[in-house]
Structure 1
Amino acid sequence: MRKTVLTPLTQVLNDGILTEQNLKFHAPVKGPRIAKPCCLGRALVQHNRAHLLTKNTLWFWPMMFVQGIIIVHHFSLQHECVHYTAFKTRWLNNLIGNICGVIIIPPHQYFRYEHCDHHTYTQVPGQDPELIELPKSITGYLAYLSAVPYWRGNLDQSFAMLREFSMTRNAALYRRTYAPAWSGRPGHTC
């Protein structure tokens, strides 16, 4: 007798929460998978151009809100690339994941190891890098909203599996990408 493997999907089907009819709405998207990253990239470029035009106007902050929404979608794509589910080939997942990492700042390789630790130690206090203790005061809540506890936790974490080469490569990529932007000299590399 074969034992049925219980997954979240089979569990909701067995419990009657979802039906086979409901699942048709969750079917994989047909067409080239590269279309979504291309659309996200184009949206980011076009929004950045429009955002520059709103500098020193009242539209600046609403545009920042829209910018945040676009960037969150890049994080979602990077997350799928970490799991190697965004594309059929590993190299394309790595390429798009690295591009998303440059856009949203956390390096793809670093996020992969941190996320692996998250899946290994999910909900284990002190070991799950994505588990942040909930605030108990107004001051703590404001700190929580700032994301400082998350970043402090990530900076304190060390990953034995990180290879020096990949970190050096990522550091060079970030230096070439962000240093010119911070120096105010477009096209200037360090």
Structure 2
Amino acid sequence: MTTDPHALFEDWFAEARASEPNDPEAMAVATVGTDGQPSVRMVLLKGHDPRGFVFYTNYESRKAGELDATPRAALLFHWKSLRRQVRIEGPVSKVSEAEGDAYFATRRRDSQLGAWASDQSRPLDSRATFEARFEAMKARFEGGPVPRPPHWSGFRVEPERIEFWQDRAHRLHERRLFTRDADGWIEGLLYP
């Protein structure tokens, strides 16, 4: 039995990539506003290693503002086909400029242009306005590479707690909890 939560996550994630019909990298990200109001939304995992779990967004979005004010987040992966979920909690930091640039360069061109065209989380008067801005970005960057916008990059959630939940018969589920301490990880079980 694996006692390294990152290795266990990689095993489960590999199984999810093989079995989930859509977006096995989809995860819920929960943040909290300065008013104490929690907020949750789906994003895509774009990298993970022992340093943490990375996703990308517009730094002027609601989630980014909440993470700047309270740099902690909770993540949730739910793989219905496997009847499993993984919960992750910990502090958040921005990825380096080099990491942001490297990831942005891998995105499809239309997604790169969309990052320039969107004022993420802000009110939009009509879909036509957004589509016009997208077309303007296509014209602006026609014939050349699309650079990463200065207001767009990634966050890394450094896990302090990782819980692996596995469905079992009669709701006698298995819950393995890994908690970070100074020497690594402490593993325990939780009642379902």
Bigger proportion of residues as strand: 2
Same fold (TM over 0.5): no
Whose relative contact order is higher, 1 or 2, with alpha carbons under 8 Å and at least 6 apart?
A: 2
Bigger proportion of residues as helix: 1
TM-score relative to the length of structure 1: 0.29
Which of 1 and 2 has greater Rg?
Answer: 1
